[in-house]
Chain A
Amino acid sequence: MITQHVVWVLTLAGIGIVALTFVYVLANSGKTADAAVTTHKAYSIRRWWFIALIVFGVAVTYLTLTPFPIGHQGALATNAQMVDAVGRQWSWQLSRNEVRAGTPVQFNVSSVDVNHGFAIYGPDDLIVTQTQAMPGFTNRLLHTFTRPGTYRVMCLEYCGLAHHAMVAQFEVVPADNGGQP
């Protein structure tokens, strides 16, 4: 399942629900009813709507933050393949151009000049993960590739005239034991 597709469908569904609600209300806007009765009924529904949103929000928060989607920044990942990535106007310098699928990769991402965005695009040209490259800081991006192929790094933080041309490439090769770490 591709997350971008899920996000797109969820967004269309959410906007669709908002749109249908508006259509329903506007279709009934020309009619008349007692304002006090309408308001009382609507505000009774709102109480449950509010509670539903709270419950839904708490559940989504727990599910999306457990486990925390960003790797621990204070410690090196054990058994991870290490890649140092340094951004500069307007190129990327990667310490290695080949990693194995199935084993975590820790990208130590930094910049020697301005802010850059370190976004990894998969063979299908969709982003698989990203972090920022910032002068004076090192962001540790942990990712396990599951699909071998050619991946591209693009800069997603505007960094000047050739920002769009700041591209690097690396290969993800199959794991020695068939893709298992």
Chain B
Amino acid sequence: MSVSRPLVELHPADEAFNRGERVVFNLYVISALVILVLMMLLGLTMRLAQSTWLGVPLGVFYQLLTAHGAGMVGTIGLASSAVMWFFLRKYVRLSLSIFAANYVLFMLGAMAILAAVFIGGYAGAWTFLYPLPVRSMSVWSTNAAALFMCGYLLIGVGFLLFYLDAMRAIIRVYGNLGRALGLRWLFGGEIDKTHSKTVVASTMVAITNSIGVLAGAVVLAMCLVNIYVPSMELNALLVKNLTYLFGHMFINASIYMGVIAVYELLPRYSGRPYPVSRAFLWSWSASLVMVLIVYPHHLLMDYAMPFWMLVMGQIISYTAGLPVFTVTVYGALTNVYKSGMRWSMPSKLLMLSMFGWAAGIVPAIIDGTIGVNKLMHNTQWVPGHFHFYLLLGVLPMVLALLYHVIGQRVPRHAGHQVTFPLFVVGGLIFVFSFLAGGSISTPRRFAEHLPQWLAYDQSGAIGAALVIAAMLLFSTQLITGLMRSKARVGPAHAAG
């Protein structure tokens, strides 16, 4: 019997930073950690207000709702793009300038959004569903709505640049995007086992989220024209379709970028090979198509939608779970089973991320059933399932990479041993409170709640407080470790 041994060293030389890379990577992830904690505090404030444990004016509540949604979606996208960049630069020559430009544009966009919300009073939710931004009943000005949308556009331009650069770099090495996806091995032929999973996932994300971001840019441009030329009215259903294509794609891209950390790091901690397979290539190719056409499951209650799109929304919601359950999570569990796993913070977070993703998909898939959606749509069931796979799925993917990067430079403190269990327990209390609230028809996005809904609001607030405590401990350790890390001199990999 052969005993598992490490396949590669934990910290290969081609992942080391030069000075510029270290600065930009740290800017990304430290900013992301700080913003995530701040956004969590906004979320906690809302749960406290719903619990009646804290008095928050109505206008402020919906401003917090808007800032929290936009801030969380954008920041988890920023953090997971750092994951993709960190690993992809080993295989193709990415432009550090464009990666930095994405960061600058993100920050400019974030400032515009914050100004629109907290100075302009914009509270039209992160989904900016037409025509709410221009019909606020004088609560906010149209200029505030336009500033919010311009902030989105700046962020979208940054991400588009990043993806275009990734596709350019991938094509330069692999010839075309189809070869990078491994399409030639779908129906036969001997698969090159050294073909990088990172390249496959990055190619898929670059293609799909470029389309998603472009859909967002189109709908934002349409809405901006409508703001200043109100006579040019828009088709509300068309706008809704484009908005959810963009929103669904963007948040899913975060998962697909984050999971690269699992593919790259898990075999190093398990000591088991985790090579590319035909099932893997099929799952990513199928996901490429499905992630673009599944968004109608957000519009199942829009009966004016074409019949076939509603049916497709349900069916693709089901099938989109297959690659997760049968390839990525199943593969990760197989990789770990009887491997003599080295348990440390990165490996624990990686496995948590797999659990959060797989478990969170269960209520999401069930809600994708039209008959169920008639009872659960826009209740707290929805934040229940998306917080499950974002808080306990994607965020641990990012944290795993950061703990891996800082390696042994983890400053110890009294609470070191409790941080991980605190995060898990707090996270589970938090997401199950949402799901339980949804099961009794508690609406989402309500500033004031009925007495029968308060118990789950209060347990949710307690869960959120525990998560924030854990995140403060995580962030302190990580930021200290990242600041202590050193850059090596001279490039050792393909990154430009």
With contacts A35-B272, A53-B322, A53-B325 taken as known, whether A42 is within 8 angstroms of B337 at the C-beta atoms is yes
- Residues in B with CB closer than 8 Å to A11 are 362-363, 366, 435
Complex contact B338–A119 (CB within 8 A): no
Complex contact A156–B379 (CB within 8 A): yes
- Residues in B with CB closer than 8 Å to A113 are 131, 135
Q: Is B375 an interface residue, CB under 8 A from the partner? A: yes
Number of interface residues of A (CB under 8 A): 76
| CB proximity of A68 to chain B, nearest CB, Å | 8
Q: Is A79 an interface residue, CB under 8 A from the partner? A: no
- Residues in B with CB closer than 8 Å to A126 are 375, 440-441
Complex contact A50–B340 (CB within 8 A): no
Complex contact A134–B237 (CB within 8 A): yes
- Residues in B with CB closer than 8 Å to A31 are 338, 340
- Residues in A with CB closer than 8 Å to B339 are 29, 32, 35
Stretch at the interface among B28-36, B74-82, B98-106, B298-306: B298-306
Complex contact B377–A117 (CB within 8 A): yes
| CB proximity of A92 to chain B, nearest CB, Å | 15
| Distance of A134 Cα from B1 Cα, bound (Å) | 65
With contacts A29-B336, A43-B334, A46-B330 taken as known, whether A10 is within 8 angstroms of B378 at the C-beta atoms is no
CB interface residues, A 37-70, toward B, < 8 Å: 38-39, 42-43, 46, 49-50, 53-54, 57, 60-61, 64-65, 68-70
- Residues in A with CB closer than 8 Å to B375 are 3-4, 7, 126-130
Q: Is B319 an interface residue, CB under 8 A from the partner? A: yes
Question: Which one of A60, A125, A138, A162 contacts B440 once the chains associate, using CB atoms below 8 Å?
Answer: A125
| Distance of A56 Cα from B438 Cα, bound (Å) | 25
Complex contact B336–A26 (CB within 8 A): yes
Question: Which one of A18, A38, A129 contacts B355 once the chains associate, using CB atoms below 8 Å?
Answer: A18
With contacts A19-B355, A35-B339 taken as known, whether A4 is within 8 angstroms of B315 at the C-beta atoms is no
Contact flags B351-364 to A (C-beta < 8 A → 1, else 0): 10011001100110
With contacts A38-B337, A53-B325, A57-B318 taken as known, whether A131 is within 8 angstroms of B301 at the C-beta atoms is yes
Complex contact A7–B362 (CB within 8 A): no
Stretch at the interface among B152-160, B168-176, B443-451: B443-451
| CB proximity of A38 to chain B, nearest CB, Å | 6
Complex contact B236–A135 (CB within 8 A): yes
Q: Is B408 an interface residue, CB under 8 A from the partner? A: no
Complex contact B237–A136 (CB within 8 A): yes
- Residues in A with CB closer than 8 Å to B343 are 29
Q: Is B273 an interface residue, CB under 8 A from the partner? A: yes
| CB proximity of B275 to chain A, nearest CB, Å | 10
Interface residues of B (CB under 8 A from A): 1-4, 58-59, 62, 65, 123-125, 127, 129, 131-132, 135-137, 139, 235-237, 240, 270, 272-273, 279, 299, 301-304, 307, 310-311, 314-315, 318-319, 322, 325-326, 330, 333-334, 336-341, 343, 351, 354-355, 358-359, 362-363, 366, 369-372, 374-379, 435-436, 439-441, 443-448, 450, 452
Interface residues of A (CB under 8 A from B): 3-5, 7-8, 10-11, 14-15, 18-19, 21-22, 25-26, 28-35, 38-39, 42-43, 46, 49-50, 53-54, 57, 60-61, 64-65, 68-71, 73, 89, 113-115, 117, 119, 121, 125-132, 134-141, 154, 156-165
